[in-house]
Amino acid sequence: MLRIRDASVTFPASDGQDVHALDHVSLDIPPDSIVVAVGASGCGKSTLLNAIAGFLPLTEGTITLDGREIVAPGGDRGVVFQKDTLLPWANVLDNVALGLKYRGVSRGERYERSRHLLELVGLADFAEKPPYELSGGMRQRVGIARALATDPKILLMDEPFGALDSLTRETMQQLLASVWARTGKQILFITHSIEEALTLGTTIVVMSPRPGRIVARFDADFVRDFAEAGDIGTIQSHPRFIELRQEIRSLIHQPEGARKGTLQ
């Protein structure tokens, strides 16, 4: 269980006005859930993820994972980045096995586990290829396999499909839903797409910028259907989906003053 309590991150700005990238955010990510943070750019959703990953210190508040406070990056939190961060000098298999190598897992064992994960993401035939011979979607799949290889307690995904074309994106969402259904990992997923948030989230938190806050949260269950049936069209035309999408859209597009008045 990941527990975020009153987390604030403040950046000093050049004009002297501090930027409150994250303002007293509290959030729980229980096991077996996908929490999706959605919002316009600058709403602090990436700051939240970076703080959980340990890349960024909190100005106030605490984040704990299974009771232990997070102070630095660590292997118990797997991160999938927006831009793939694969090592160009290593082939796909060695990239997936990197975290296991850091842990001192023997060569045979780490390759066996990595091959298994490559199978899970549908890239078993590409193990020996260098990453730069793969398409953007394939590289992101390698990134997911790499993050899963060390069996982290939580998977942090920072707009991982944001740079992909819409068809590849749907395939990747389907893949993630089925990986989640099979592994039961707790996932924090950042996106600016409301459809993506509703398709993948068991919990959707809507964030607003300046200061970065959670303004609303919704529970959804579309991802379970999605993982089973895999038909994104049926899900996205469900009346409840359309209703929620409209509600979230109006929350995000509301003028700042009005939102503060109604929700704070």
Partner 1 sequence: MTLAANSRTSFPTAAAQRRPSRRLRRAASASTFGISLATLAALIALWFLAAQFGWASPLFLPSPADVLTQVSAVAADGYANGTLLDHTLASLGRIAAALGVGIFVGIPLGLLMGLNRWVKGIFSVPIDLYWGLPPLAYLPLLIIWLGIGETSKIVLLSLSTFAPICFAAQAGVRSVPAERINAALSLGASRLQLFASIILPSALPEILTGLKIAIGAGLSTLVAAELIAAQSGLGYMIMSAANFLATDVVFVGLIVIAVLAFAFTSGMRWLEHRLIPWKGKL
| Minimum separation from the CB atom of position 250 to partner 1 (A) | 34
CB 114 within 8 A of CB 145: yes
Residue with Cβ nearer partner 1 (101 or 116): 101
The single residue among 18, 30, 40, 55 that binds partner 1, judged by CB under 8 A, is 55
The single residue among 1, 3, 10, 98 that binds partner 1, judged by CB under 8 A, is 98
Q: Helix (H, G, I), strand (E, B), or coil: what is residue 27?
A: strand
Tokens standing for residue 209: 């910028």
**Per-residue string for binding with partner 1, 148-167, x by CB under 8 A?**
--x-----x-----------
Residue with Cβ nearer partner 1 (76 or 247): 76
Largest CA-CA distance found in the chain, in angstroms, rounded: 60
| Minimum separation from the CB atom of position 53 to partner 1 (A) | 6
83 binds partner 1 (CB under 8 A): yes
Residues 133, 139, 144: CA angle, nearest 5 degrees: 155
Question: DSSP readout, 82-104?
Answer: SS----TTS-HHHHHTHHHHHTT
CB 203 within 8 A of CB 250: no
Looking at 51-59, 62-70, 114-122, 201-209, which segment touches partner 1 (CB under 8 A)?
Answer: 51-59
Residue with Cβ nearer partner 1 (34 or 156): 156
Looking at 23-31, 61-69, 81-89, 162-170, which segment touches partner 1 (CB under 8 A)?
Answer: 81-89
CB 126 within 8 A of CB 148: no
From 215, 193, 224, select the one nearest 261 (Cα to Cα): 215
Tokens standing for residue 223: 């991802």
| Minimum separation from the CB atom of position 234 to partner 1 (A) | 36
Backbone phi, psi, residue 202, to 5°: -90, -25
54 binds partner 1 (CB under 8 A): yes
How far from chain centre, in Å, is Cα 15? 32
Binding stretches for partner 1 (CB under 8 A): 53-55, 72-75, 77-79, 81, 83, 85-89, 98-99, 101-103, 130-132, 146-147, 150, 156
